Amino acid sequence: MLKKLTLKSGVNRENTRYTNENGWYESDKVRFRQGTPEKIGGWQRISANTFLGVCRSLWNWVTLLPENLMGVGTNVKFYIENSGTYFDITPIASNYTLSNPFTTNGTTTVLVTDPNGGFTNFGYVIFYGSSAVGGQVIVGEYRLTYVSSTTYNITITGIATAATGGGTVYASYEVAPGPENAVPLNGWGAGGWGTGLWGVGTRTAESIRIWNQNNFGQDLLYGPRGGPLYYWNASIGYQPTTATITIATPAVVTVSGNLTDKTAITFSTTGALPTGLLPGVTYYTRYVSSTTFNLSLTPTGALINTTGSQSGVQSISPRGVLLSSLSGASSVPLTQNYFLISDTSRFVICFGTNDAASTVFNPMLVRWSNQESAVEWYPSATNQAGSLQLSHGSKIVTALQSRKEILIWTDSTLYSLQYLGAPIVWGSTLLGDNVSIAGPNAAAIASDVVYWMGVDKFYKYDGRVQTLRCDLLRYIYNDINLQQVDQIFASTNEGFNEVWFFYCSKNSALIDSYVVYNYTEDKNNGVWYYGSLARTAWIDTGLRSNPIAATYANNLVYHEFGVDDGTYYPATGISSFITSAQFDLDDGNNMSFVWRMLPDLTFRGSTDGTVPSVTMQLLPLKNSGSGYNSPKSVGGVTSDAQESVTATQTYPIDLDTYNGQINIRVRARQMAIKIASTQLGTQWQLGSPRIDLRTDGRR
């Protein structure tokens, strides 16, 4: 008797393997299409270039040139990616002039003394203008290692003899890096007053570094969570520009290109800058002609005046500057936990910030700029800048822009923010209470429905807040590291009608797991599947041909690209599998004997020139709970065996269907089926396999 094995779409682990009869129970790197499982698409790195740190933020936009750019925010740096190259635009936090700061000792380690302090361990510093010390000229960017409040070490490429010096050195410190994962803190002051044992404190964690970013026209607004906003002007470009500088009165800059008026720039050099200019300091262009500019320390301030004249070729560094330093800036937020730019009305909106009249951070405050302005934040009768205070919850976690409204999550509530026009401008509506969200990146929107991961369940919002049925709920939340919930992120893969959620498994401090909700496979509830995959950020953008994700290999990869793992070169095969729940071979107490199988597979999409291959296993049981049988030899004949069947096919002959007959020997009352592949170049989709069986007694 031929038995057709057509199993339900989706993976379900909410009950026992036997209760989920005719369904699927385990999976990895497998999705469902038209009700049957298939291996997911592969991925390919966009280039051999890498960035520093763990990427948590991606944003894609196009400038007026046009250039297709990607903002890449890591815990160490901030980059703009173009055509696979990463350009460092990490903002400068502070600039100091040092005198003979270097102490060398006959090795490549150099002790740097900076009495100003304020630097951060493992941060980055850029030195300009130094003279040789110990036989080495120390210029350029270095990673520093903290020694004391006023000293730190750097490592140079050459060995410097013992000496102290360097002359007049200009030091520019980049915005300090943040943790790549939540770092446990213990001891006095680690928790709130009275929340722990006397003198011990409460175990808490330092938040991970997450950059928020959004484009304002062709320019980019960006800033670290809990930090200020920075502005990057696309007219500067993303790589150093050569400029010939002539100092007279005032300073005149000649550039090989077109910089716009009031563009923020800094200078870098391996030698001394012309008199009156300092490296790392922000200057602003004042238009003279298409290739010449005067310089000012403020966008509308007095021009720089110097005595004497001096010329030299320098480099303009295209780093972002504080939004509050731009022309016309008024009451720009000093810090923000999240921000976005409203598409239709062009407001910059901060969530969790300080108000216009105070420097005190308010985690429940929403503030917005004047319409069509990124810099005008002080409310007046002539503009639409303003703020509102949310009341439910203790902090705003994140926000997301949908087609009709902006959704705001606090740690206990979901709000809707809608544009009402003057004089109220923006108004909030409470959508749901006792609603949680796992982290600032844990929500995504697909087909105008918002999906997000809470701290104990999944939700969706399509005009009303609903709990999202999840067939993997207990499995996911029993195997999640809740201390690392800020790492959780969600994104879409619209080409396959999927919402992906990435998280850290229970014993991992790194993202290593994912769960997928497919909202079209089942019209009523959707279906779920899961697996293991290490990603740190994901963007599903219509401006590029494929979804893009960030990896722990410090690179970006195109997903749904080919069929293999192209994180490194050469590519390797992807390990994928899916295992069914248990199903009865026959009703009653009788055993069944399975003697042949017709796999019914398709290998469409496999790489040209490969021999695609999968392994199918029949996993027999005498009864539910007995465990899968292991091979047993009786009189030289193997019976009750766990059979493996390798289905291979030679490309390109008949890739549409593999339905050959394979002889096997298996005895069982119940059975599960497993399909797996690891081979390079293989793509597969399961159809409806059949097994040929006959009744074989009760024992």
Nearest to 245 by CA among 318, 295, 286, 290: 295
Give the range of the structural domain holding residue 296, as residue numbers without chain letter. 241-317
Q: Higher-confidence residue: 276 or 419?
A: 419
Summarize the confidence of residues 386-409 as an average pLDDT: 96
Residue 260 shares a structural domain with residue 159: no
DSSP string, 46-105: S-S---SS-EEEEEEEE-SS--EEEEEEESS-EEEEETTEEEE-PPEEEEEEEES-EEE-
The torsion angle over the Cα atoms of residues 66, 72, 77 and 81, rounded to 10 degrees, is: -40
**512 vs 488: CA distance, rounded Å:** 11
In this prediction, residue 12 carries a pLDDT of: 97
Mean pLDDT of 145-159: 96
Three-state SS annotation for 321-347: EEHHHCCCCECCCCCEEEEEECCCCCC
Measured distance CA(489)–CA(485) in Å, rounded? 9
User: Mind listing the pLDDT tens digit for each residue in 558-580?
Assistant: 999 999 999 999 999 999 999 99
Q: Hey, which bits of 548-661 come out as E strands? A: 548-550, 556-559, 565-566, 576-580, 583-584, 592-598, 601-602, 613-621, 632-634, 637-639, 643-648
Which residue in the block uniquely carries the two structure tokens 């091979």? 631
Residue-level pLDDT at 113: 98
Q: Are residues 678 and 596 in the same domain?
A: yes
Tell me the per-residue pLDDT of 1-42, one tens digit each, with 9 for 90 and over.
Answer: 888 988 999 999 999 998 998 899 999 999 999 999 999 999
Give the residue-averaged pLDDT of 422-432. Answer: 95
CA–CA distances in Å: residue 43 to residues 142, 540, 567, 568: 33, 14, 7, 10
The contacts of residue 493 (CB under 8 Å, 6+ apart) are: 499, 500, 540, 547, 559, 560
Q: Look-up: residue for tokens 């096997």?
A: 664
Same domain, 527 and 608: no
Per-residue pLDDT at 76 = 97
Task: Give the per-residue pLDDT at 101.
Answer: 98
Say if CB 454 and CB 416 are below 8 A apart: no
Alpha-carbon distance of 230 to 237, in angstroms, equals 15
pLDDT for 525: 86
Domain end position, chosen among 253, 288, 317: 317
The backbone region for 329, taken as left when phi is positive above 0, alpha when psi lies in -120 to 50, beta otherwise, is beta
Name the more confident of 366 and 251: 366
| Residue 568 within a domain | no
588, 683: one domain: yes
Q: Would you say residue 419 lies in a domain? A: no
Selection from 561, 567, 572, 569 nearest residue 535 by Cα: 567
pLDDT at 188: 52
Residue at a domain's end among 300, 317, 334: 317
Residue 605's contacts (CB-CB under 8 Å, 6 or more residues apart) are 563, 683
- CA-nearest of 317, 318, 347 to 333 is 347
Dist CA 176 CA 90 (whole Å): 10
**Cis bond upstream, residue 279 (ω within 30):** no
Same domain, 553 and 584: no
Query: Does residue 547 sit in the same domain as residue 588?
Result: no
**pLDDT: is 440 or 653 the higher one?**
440
Q: How many CB atoms lie within 10 A of CB 439?
A: 23
pLDDT band at 271 (very low <50, low <70, confident <90, very high): low
SS3 assignment for 450-462:
EEEECCCCEEEEC
Q: Show the CA angle centred on residue 458, arms to residues 452 and 461, nearest 5°.
A: 55
Distance CA 528, CA 498 (A): 9
Closest CA to 565 of 684, 478, 678, 488: 678
Band (pLDDT 50/70/90 cuts) for residue 652 is very low
Any residues with CB less than 8 A from the CB of 111 and at least 6 apart, and which? Answer: 102, 103, 104, 105, 147, 151, 152, 153
- Residue 205's pLDDT is 62
How far apart CA 44 and CA 51 sit, in angstroms, is: 16
Whether 540 and 588 map to the same domain: the answer is no
Residue 294 pairs in a beta bridge with: 252, 286
CATH number at residue 100: 2.40.30.20
Residues 578 and 679 in one domain: yes
Last residue of a domain, one of 174, 192, 222: 174
To the nearest 10°, report the CA torsion of 147, 148, 151, 154. 20
Exposure of 423 in the CB half-sphere (CA atoms within 13 A): 4
Mean pLDDT of the chain: 88
Helix (H, G, I), strand (E, B) or coil at 117: coil
Q: Is residue 598 part of a domain?
A: yes
* 511 and 460 assigned to the same domain: yes
Residues in the chain: 699
Distance between CA 45 and CA 22 in Å, rounded? 38
For the chain, the farthest-separated pair of C-alpha atoms sits apart, in whole angstroms, at 107
165: in domain: yes
Q: 554 and 451 share a domain? A: yes
pLDDT (mean) for 537-557: 97
Question: What number of other Cβ atoms are within 10 A of residue 305's Cβ?
Answer: 11
Residue 281 lies in a domain: yes
Provide the CA 606 distance to its chain's centre, in angstroms.
29
Q: Does residue 259 belong to any structural domain of this protein?
A: yes
- CA separation for the pair 649, 304 (Å, rounded): 74
Among left, alpha and beta (phi > 0; psi -120 to 50; other), residue 83 is left
Chain segment 674-688, per-residue pLDDT in tens:
999 999 999 999 999
CATH number of the domain that 609 lies in? 2.60.120
Tell me if 382 is assigned to some domain: no
Say how many domains are in the chain: 4
679 and 586 share one domain: yes
User: Considering the domain boundaries, does residue 432 fall inside one?
Assistant: no
From the CA atom positions of the chain, what is the Rg in Å?
A: 30
- Please report the beta strands in 278-319, taking only residues with DSSP state E, as ranges in sequence order: 283-287, 292-296, 310-317
Out of 83-87, 490-494, 595-599, which region has the weakest mean confidence (pLDDT)? 595-599
Whether residues 543 and 654 share a domain: the answer is: no
Q: What is the pLDDT of residues 206-233, one digit of tens each?
A: 789 999 999 999 999 999 999 999 999 8
Mean pLDDT of 396-423: 96
